[in-house]
Amino acid sequence: MAIVASAFSSEAISRGEKRAEAVPNEVIVCFRDVMTASAAQESLVARHGGKILDKEPALNCVLVQVKDVKKFIKGMARESAVAYAEPNYIAKATYTPNAPLYEKQWGLPAIKADKAWDVQMGNKSVKIAIVDTGIDYTHEDLNASYVSGGYDFVNNDNDPMDDNGHGTHCAGIAAAAIDNGKGIAGVAQVSIMAEKVLDRYGYGSNWNVARGIVHATQSGANVISMSLGSSSFSRILQKACLYAWRKGCILVAAAGNDGVRRIDYPARFKTVICVGSIDQSNSRSSFSNYGPQMELVAPGEHILSTYPGNMYVYKSGTSMATPHVAGVAALVWSHNPTLRNRDVRIILARTADDLGTLGWDEEYGFGRVDAEEAVNVASALSTRIAKRLKEEKRSEC
């Protein structure tokens, strides 16, 4: 998960983060609430030599084409109606390539998904949005779980077909069909939708990632799985994640694959569950980033999953660990739909199998996600809530 960011963010530079790339001649401008009118925004942008290319009303932000990025951002900083302006950073998928059905999926029994299935296998009313390179929705193991409603922000159309493979691989880990007699098993038998924000090479812009998050939220996603990221801080991503969290979504993102003490964005944001990778011996993968924002870990090495063209391949990375956690979150919500996103997040943390030093630590967070225990706790809470509601109803009589 590596979103690469650019040199013009003073906040990123002050954090000591490495420089990154941005889309040439593009700037994201977010306005304060005092300026929401489209005409006023266009006038202000034009005054500084910019041209609005795209708009995201939910965030009150616009994508602007400029001749001189540095000069334009400096000009925007002087405008009281502008909250901030930043380069349109580039994002990319973050798996570590590996060489090329249930018995070969060591990750599922590792997180006790097989035991959780005795209680809950998932509900199609729960939806996971895969914000990635798209999904091959014709795949034999995904077509039963795939639902429309996503979007292709790379080609600006309603067909988020995967032309890279990364998104399809992540989708299979989270929600490939179990009882169809084909291929692999996904963690949860829920619905999946595709927000295609990365191109055929696994790259995209933060503008598109943010729009994918917003679109997924507005399209009814419960869980937003992001196996992508950036080493540099981005306010547009932060705002989009906050928007989704406040709307009740669970956001899950990969920690990054540089093997260093630094969590990439958006996993680094407080509104997002940061996921690291472990190997079959329950040790942190050598490529898995770690740090103070680490929340959970999951299997991320030599993971078999779906791939375009009805194929199945092995891949490694925190990108592969992330949909394991997204799938467990979907299982918990399937079992107890009365839970809020903060409840689901707390359950995942408190039921995780502790790894590393005792208690929370920077390498493993709260530990390896535990599907069985998480579903059991959700079940207990469901019984408790039902009992309370019954007692309240009885007291009203």
pLDDT of residue 203: 95
Domain end call among 39, 73, 92? 92
Same-domain pairing of 245 and 283: yes
Domain end call among 59, 77, 92? 92
Domain end call among 92, 110, 139? 92
Tell how far CA 362 is from the center of its chain. Answer: 20
Decide if 396 is inside a domain. no
* 215 catalytic residue (yes or no): no
pLDDT of residue 396: 53
Same-domain pairing of 233 and 369: yes
* pTM of this structure: 0.87
pLDDT < 70 positions in the chain: 1-20, 94-100, 382-397
Q: Which of 9, 136, 163, 166 is catalytic?
A: 166
The answer to whether the CB of 81 falls within 8 A of the CB of 226 is no
Q: Which of 191, 205, 230, 319 is catalytic?
A: 319
Residue 48 is encoded by which pair of tokens?
């500084």
Alpha-carbon distance of 172 to 178, in angstroms, equals 10
User: Residue 176 belongs to what domain range?
Assistant: 95-380
pLDDT of residue 4: 28
Helices (H) and strands (E) counted in the chain, each on its own, are 11, 17
Same-domain pairing of 104 and 47: no
Decide if 99 is inside a domain. yes
CATH number of the CATH domain containing 316: 3.40.50.200
* 319 catalytic residue (yes or no): yes
Element (H, E) at 26: strand 22-31
In our burial notation (b when 16+ CB lie closer than 10 A, e otherwise), range 335-365 reads: bbeebebebbbebbbebbbebbeeebbbbbb
Alpha-carbon distance of 91 to 256, in angstroms, equals 12
The answer to whether the CB of 169 falls within 8 A of the CB of 95 is yes
Side-chain half-sphere of 196: how many Cα atoms within 13 Å?
Answer: 26
Decide if 390 is inside a domain. no
Same-domain pairing of 24 and 110: no
pLDDT of residue 181: 87
Same-domain pairing of 61 and 183: no
At 223, give phi and psi (nearest 5°). Answer: -125, 135
CATH number of the CATH domain containing 58: 3.30.70.80
In our burial notation (b when 16+ CB lie closer than 10 A, e otherwise), range 250-287 reads: bbbbbbbbbeeebbbbbbbbebbbbbbbbbeeeebbeb
Q: Which of 6, 9, 48, 132 is catalytic?
A: 132
Decide if 167 is inside a domain. yes
pLDDT of residue 379: 83
Same-domain pairing of 103 and 231: yes
The answer to whether the CB of 174 falls within 8 A of the CB of 326 is yes
Decide if 385 is inside a domain. no
pLDDT of residue 299: 98
Same-domain pairing of 244 and 348: yes
Decide if 267 is inside a domain. yes
DSSP SS3 for 31: strand
Alpha-carbon distance of 239 to 236, in angstroms, equals 5
The answer to whether the CB of 163 falls within 8 A of the CB of 202 is no
Same-domain pairing of 161 and 288: yes
Decide if 85 is inside a domain. yes
Decide if 387 is inside a domain. no
Count of structural domains within the chain: 2
One-letter identity of residue 118: D
Same-domain pairing of 252 and 343: yes
pLDDT of residue 391: 58
Same-domain pairing of 199 and 305: yes
316: β partners: 96
Same-domain pairing of 112 and 23: no
DSSP SS3 for 279: coil
Same-domain pairing of 175 and 296: yes
Element (H, E) at 272: strand 272-278
DSSP 368: B
pLDDT of residue 50: 98
Residue given tokens 């739909």 in the structure block: 337
pLDDT of residue 392: 53
